[in-house]
């Protein structure tokens, strides 16, 4: 295994925007561990077949590992709604992952639809996505990020990732309700 780096042009753009808003540059400069290639982040309109397949895989995984009433993952149409910004991450011409950011209010954002493509699991793409979304939230002037994930064994890698990035468990937020199949997390940014 090698290292995937944030594409230089994306890295420089993100760094310029972070510095313009007095956001720590570390988010833009961290290397992203995965294969020996660069990771490109793209604003994505969800019209491409690779992105649609990854979202379908994400939804299927959510339904396979949580009861229907506890799945709050967004489908491709919902991810196109106003207030949702969606990115895909690519290694060359292969989609490696995706994630979205919604704004709850002027100070809070929610991470949605974070998914790493099966062929890139365990290679650092999830961490790269998370760091990218945190940096984007900082650019928007948000003060905290929130998320909901599942509680079954299938979600343990995601929970560990979020905890390692400073997210702490909390109660339900923004209309979610407590249930044994959901874990709610937040962190200041």
Give pLDDT, residue 76. Answer: 86
CATH number at residue 56: 3.40.630.30
pLDDT exceeds cutoff 70 at 10: no
Give the model confidence (pLDDT) of 73-115 as tens digits.
777 888 999 999 999 999 999 999 999 999 999 999 999 999 9
Confidence of residue 12 (pLDDT cuts 50, 70, 90): low
Q: How confident is the model at residue 120 (pLDDT cuts 50, 70, 90)?
A: very high
Q: What percent of the chain has pLDDT over 90?
A: 60
- Cβ neighbours of residue 126 closer than 8 Å, sequence gap 6 or more: 97, 114, 116, 157, 158, 161
Q: Please state the pTM of the whole predicted model.
A: 0.80
Of 79 and 186, the one with more pLDDT: 186
Q: What total number of domains does the chain contain?
A: 1
Q: What is the domain range of residue 157?
A: 5-188
pLDDT higher at 73 or 58: 58
Contact 15, 26 (CB under 8 A): no
Rounded Cα gap, residues 159 and 92, in angstroms: 28
């Amino acid at each position: 295994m090698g290292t995937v780096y944030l594409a230089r042009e994306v890295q420089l753009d993100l760094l310029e925007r972070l510095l313009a808003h007095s956001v720590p540059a570390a988010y833009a400069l961290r290397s992203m561990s995965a294969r020996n290639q660069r990771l490109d982040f793209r604003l994505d309109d969800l019209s491409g077949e690779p992105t649609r397949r990854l979202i379908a895989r994400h939804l299927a995984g959510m339904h396979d590992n949580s009861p229907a009433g506890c799945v709050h993952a967004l489908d491709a149409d919902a991810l196109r709604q106003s207030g949702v910004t969606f990115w895909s991450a690519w290694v060359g011409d292969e989609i490696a992952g995706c994630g979205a950011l919604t704004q709850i209010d002027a100070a809070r954002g929610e991470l949605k639809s974070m998914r790493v493509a099966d062929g890139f699991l365990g290679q650092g793409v999830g961490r790269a996505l998370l760091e990218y979304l945190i940096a984007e939230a900082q650019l928007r002037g948000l003060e905290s990020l929130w998320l909901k994930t599942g509680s079954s064994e299938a979600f343990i890698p995601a929970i560990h990732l979020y905890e390692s990035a400073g997210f702490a468990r909390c109660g339900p937020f923004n209309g979610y309700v407590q249930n044994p199949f959901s874990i709610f997390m937040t962190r200041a940014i």
